[in-house]
Amino acid sequence: MATTKSYAAHSATTPLEPWTFERRNLKPTDVQMDILFCGVCHSDLHYARNEWGMTTYPIVPGHEIVGKITAVGSAVTKHKVGDYAGIGCLVDSCRQCDNCKQDQEQYCTNGFVGTYGGMEKDGSGPTHGGYSKNILCHEDFVLHISDKLDLAATAPLLCAGITTYSPLRHWKVGPGMKVGILGLGGLGHMGVKFAVSMGAEVTMLSHTPGKKADAERLGAHKFVLTSDSEQVKSVGGYFDFILDTVSAQHDYNMYLSMLRTNGVMVCVGVPPAPIPVHSMSLIFGRHTLAGSLIGGIAETQEMLDFCAEHNIVSDIEMIRMDQINEAYERLLTGDVRYRFVIDMDSL
């Protein structure tokens, strides 16, 4: 076992602080990597503060990980020492259920193993994430990173990227489709980039007037200020597809009214409380309200390859490891454009 430096939360009410722990030994099918960059996801904050009621302490967050491979097990065939690689939200799954067999490990019916806050399938201990110097996991859950991509700006693709790419791919967004992206944050800005690259007409839906210039810079063709009733009325029955990235309370019914017949609205944001949906919002227009969770490993690799082909990365603000608590407070107010990334050399 190897001693590893990290930043960890030890309770829901105390700041993250330096912590040293033991990583397990390298298994024959494992890849070990030194972490170069780690994105900061809002889920990290939720887990650190036990806002979802499932945290076991201490916990080392971080599941948007990019690094360099330093060791491989004797049975590893997919990766080699010296490669740049990534690890996202998953480090294992049962491999046996129908979903896993269809490359949908994120929906493993026996429970996937999260990069942090999970438990190793062999019972060897809890998983700890990317706010640390190094990490190891089974080679099947390690992703190839193209040398065409900026490594730091690639890190958020491992969660924010795949979270938005997967539903756009699943519902076959492409040329001729009118797509609305609701919310311009860490997820929304990736949704705009992907939908534009897929050939759709893209409209940013935001209640913040100041987001218009950024939406246009990111490639959005139109902007609708959702606090303006006339602008909202102008897109009634307009969209084939809406990607809802908002995690604050908002009116689903208003956005469902913007869908064309057979239109689909997919939620990837997680509001803090249930939101009422009137059946009429679905029945009239045969609308679909759906959800989507990250993506499987094969699809995540597909997304990374798509990004390399289309030169897509996240817009980031680099921080030091010792700035993480300040970054969490800024996350709560939306004060980041559009993803914090930790330079792990600073740990």
CATH at 227? 3.40.50.720
So what's the pLDDT on residue 1?
67
What is the residue type of 153? A
Look at residue 306 and tell me if it is in a domain. Answer: no
Of 45, 47, 49, 51, nearest in space to 14 by CA? 49
Rounded to a whole number of angstroms, the CA Rg of the chain reads: 20
Mean pLDDT of 76-85: 97
Do 211 and 283 reside in the same domain of the chain?
Answer: yes
Mean pLDDT of 29-38: 97
SS (H, E, C) 108-165: CCCCCEECCCCECCCCCCECCCCCECEEEEEHHHCEECCCCCCHHHHHHHHCHHHHHH
Do 258 and 112 reside in the same domain of the chain?
Answer: no
Mean pLDDT of 329-346: 94
Q: Is the pLDDT of residue 124 over 90?
A: no
Look at residue 308 and tell me if it is in a domain. Answer: no
Residues, the chain: 347
Do 154 and 76 reside in the same domain of the chain?
Answer: yes
Domain with 115 in it: what CATH number?
Answer: 3.90.180.10
- Domain of residue 220, residue span: 161-291
Look at residue 61 and tell me if it is in a domain. Answer: yes
So what's the pLDDT on residue 121?
87
State the pLDDT confidence band at 261, using cuts at 50, 70 and 90. Answer: very high
Do 76 and 165 reside in the same domain of the chain?
Answer: no
What pLDDT digit, counting tens, does each position of 136-162 carry? 999 999 999 999 999 999 999 999 999
**Mean pLDDT for all residues in the chain:** 96
Look at residue 296 and tell me if it is in a domain. Answer: no
Do 118 and 266 reside in the same domain of the chain?
Answer: no
Do 126 and 259 reside in the same domain of the chain?
Answer: no
Mean pLDDT of 229-242: 97
Look at residue 212 and tell me if it is in a domain. Answer: yes
Do 40 and 143 reside in the same domain of the chain?
Answer: yes
Do 33 and 152 reside in the same domain of the chain?
Answer: yes
So what's the pLDDT on residue 308?
97
What pLDDT digit, counting tens, does each position of 271-306 carry? 989 999 999 999 999 999 999 999 999 999 999 999
How many domains, the chain? 2
Mean pLDDT of 324-338: 93
So what's the pLDDT on residue 125?
87
What pLDDT digit, counting tens, does each position of 153-205 carry? 999 999 999 999 999 999 999 999 999 999 999 999 999 999 999 999 999 99
Do 6 and 153 reside in the same domain of the chain?
Answer: yes
Look at residue 7 and tell me if it is in a domain. Answer: yes
